[in-house]
């Protein structure tokens, strides 16, 4: 057995990056979450080559102090939590302090930022474990992160990437998902110089229509229910709108997109007697509950959650949807009886 030796920092970051950034869409999600946490009202994304060759996210959020730019790229450095107590009540999308460090370990990254109180912007670059000095730069208030050549130094990971079109589609889906939960924020996406979408600040209903489709929104049933500290709202498809595919299924917990078995099971149960098994209902549902009732620190990508009282969550979703679907159910019974 060779002697035990600590790994160099750069390698630690590359290993950790494997968990956080599997593909360009994960990097994009991290950057968008940072912009939203910084209170941005406007976020513009520019992708090139499916997000592999180029990814640039530009926001008008709070910005980062020039002196803190090196820390922003360091692992386990964050402005969002300070203690275990904060972690248990975390309200921000990020909190692990490893998004930028992970991306920087597997790309060529440039971070440019300026706060409202700064006379000018500052910039830092990272490439293959080397972090540059902070230099002066030109940039409006806010932050731009540019990533070039994702996985250029991790060829094994790069080999697992799918075609440019597929990686692009995952990026677009990630941006669309986040934009659903933040309708008050303007989102724009460009790919290879083409405008893909531009959502202005709008109402929840308008954003749902823009992302999930006008036809879905026009025919959807509204859900709006409260149970104790929990609130559920959103739109669900009438059974007649269901398709064979399971796209257009969006679940959010405290404005975070999640994949959750408890929640999707409750939805399925509610549709059970109005929808044939081979069809999947479309839905956009937002669950809001006190942060201490849900653990978001389950997985580095934070798309999994654990509820303190998953039965209560199941009940709220089942009953709310059941109620919304009641009318369709009544109509269905009548048509069968006739
Ligand atoms: P986390 O989001 O978990 O804190 P990150 O590595 O993603 O970790 O970011 C590190 C820190 O850099 C954040 O805590 C935040 O203070 C700062 N930061 C990153 N992106 C932005 C941004 N777009 N605007 C303002 N601050 C940012
Ligand atoms: Mg982050």
Residues 113-163: tens digit of each pLDDT: 999 999 999 999 999 889 999 999 999 999 999 999 999 999 989 999 999
Smallest CA separation from ligand 1 atom 20, residue:
34
Give tens-digit pLDDT for 261-296. Answer: 999 999 999 999 888 877 888 999 999 999 999 999
Mutation probe of ligand 1 site: the residue of 16, 32, 34 with most atoms within 8 A of C-beta: 34
In this prediction, residue 331 has a pLDDT band, given cuts at 50, 70 and 90, of confident
Strand bridging mode 42-48 / 186-191: parallel
User: 195 and 274: one domain?
Assistant: no
Q: What separation in Å is there between the alpha carbon of 105 and the centre of ligand 2?
A: 15
Atom number, ligand 1, closest to the C-alpha of residue 93: 2
User: 184 and 225: one domain?
Assistant: no
The verdict on pTM exceeding 0.80 is yes
User: 51 and 88: one domain?
Assistant: yes
Q: Which residues line ligand 1 (CB under 6 A)?
A: 30, 34-35, 38, 59, 61-64, 72, 78-80, 94-101, 143
Instruction: Tell me whether residue 204 is in a domain.
Output: no
Of the ligands numbered here, which is closest to the C-alpha atom of 35? 1
User: 124 and 32: one domain?
Assistant: yes
Phi-psi region of 252 (alpha: psi -120 to 50; beta: other; left: phi over 0): beta
The DSSP-derived string for 272-313 is TTTS-TT-B--EEEEEE--GGGEE-TTSTT----EETTHHHH
User: 146 and 236: one domain?
Assistant: no
Q: What does the DSSP 8-state code read for residue 221?
A: E
Final residue belonging to a domain, choices 165, 199, 233: 199
- Cβ distance 305 to 298 under 8 Å? yes
**What torsion do the CA atoms of 125, 78, 99, 56 make, to the nearest 10 degrees?**
-50
Tokens 């990026």 sit at which residue? Answer: 171
Of the ligands numbered here, which is closest to the C-alpha atom of 114? 1
Task: Choose between 330 and 101: higher pLDDT.
Answer: 101
User: 40 and 98: one domain?
Assistant: yes
- Rounded CA-CA distance 245/224 in Å is 26
Instruction: Tell me whether residue 2 is in a domain.
Output: no
User: 252 and 120: one domain?
Assistant: no
Burial class for 10, CB neighbours closer than 10 Å (0-12, 13-18, 19+)? middle
Q: What separation in Å is there between the alpha carbon of 95 and the centre of ligand 1?
A: 9
Residue 320 lies in domain: 213-337
The DSSP-derived string for 12-31 is HHHHHHHHH-SSHHHHHHHH
Mutation probe of ligand 1 site: the residue of 40, 55, 74, 94 with most atoms within 8 A of C-beta: 94
Smallest CA separation from ligand 1 atom 21, residue:
34
Q: What does the DSSP 8-state code read for residue 134?
A: P
Instruction: Tell me whether residue 207 is in a domain.
Output: no
The predicted structure's pLDDT at residue 328: 79
- Cβ distance 38 to 44 under 8 Å? no
Lowest average pLDDT, out of 54-68, 128-142, 229-243, 248-262, goes to 229-243
């Amino acid at each position: 057995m060779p002697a035990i030796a600590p790994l160099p920092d750069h390698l630690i970051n590359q290993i950790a990056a494997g968990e956080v950034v599997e593909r360009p869409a994960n990097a994009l999600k991290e950057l968008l979450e940072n912009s939203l946490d910084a209170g941005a009202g406007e976020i513009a994304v520019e992708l090139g080559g499916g997000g592999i060759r180029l990814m640039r996210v530009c926001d008008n959020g709070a910005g980062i102090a020039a002196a803190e730019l090196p820390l922003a790229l360091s692992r386990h450095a964050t402005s969002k939590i300070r203690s275990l107590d904060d972690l248990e009540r975390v309200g921000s999308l990020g909190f692990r302090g490893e998004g930028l460090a992970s991306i920087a370990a597997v790309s060529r990254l440039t971070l440019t930022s300026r706060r409202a109180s700064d006379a000018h912007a500052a910039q830092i670059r990272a490439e293959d474990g080397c972090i540059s000095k902070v230099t002066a730069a030109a940039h409006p208030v806010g932050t731009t992160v540019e990533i070039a050549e994702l996985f250029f130094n991790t060829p094994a990971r790069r080999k697992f990437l799918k075609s440019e079109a597929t990686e692009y589609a995952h990026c677009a889906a990630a941006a669309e998902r986040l934009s659903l939960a933040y309708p008050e924020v303007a989102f724009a996406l460009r790919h290879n110089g083409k405008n893909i979408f531009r959502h202005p600040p709008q109402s929840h209903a308008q954003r749902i229509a823009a992302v999930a489709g006008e036809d879905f929104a026009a025919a959807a049933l509204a859900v709006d229910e409260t149970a104790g500290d929990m609130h559920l709202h959103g739109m669900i498809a009438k059974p007649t709108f269901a398709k064979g595919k399971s796209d257009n299924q969006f679940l959010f917990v405290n404005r975070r997109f999640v994949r959750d078995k408890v929640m999707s099971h409750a939805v399925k149960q509610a549709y059970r007697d109005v929808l044939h098994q081979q069809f999947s209902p479309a839905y956009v549902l937002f669950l809001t509950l006190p942060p201490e009732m849900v653990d978001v620190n389950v997985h580095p990508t934070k798309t999994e959650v654990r509820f303190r009282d998953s039965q209560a969550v199941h009940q709220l979703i089942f009953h709310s949807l059941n109620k919304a679907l009641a009318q369709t159910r009544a109509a269905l019974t009548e048509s069968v009886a006739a």
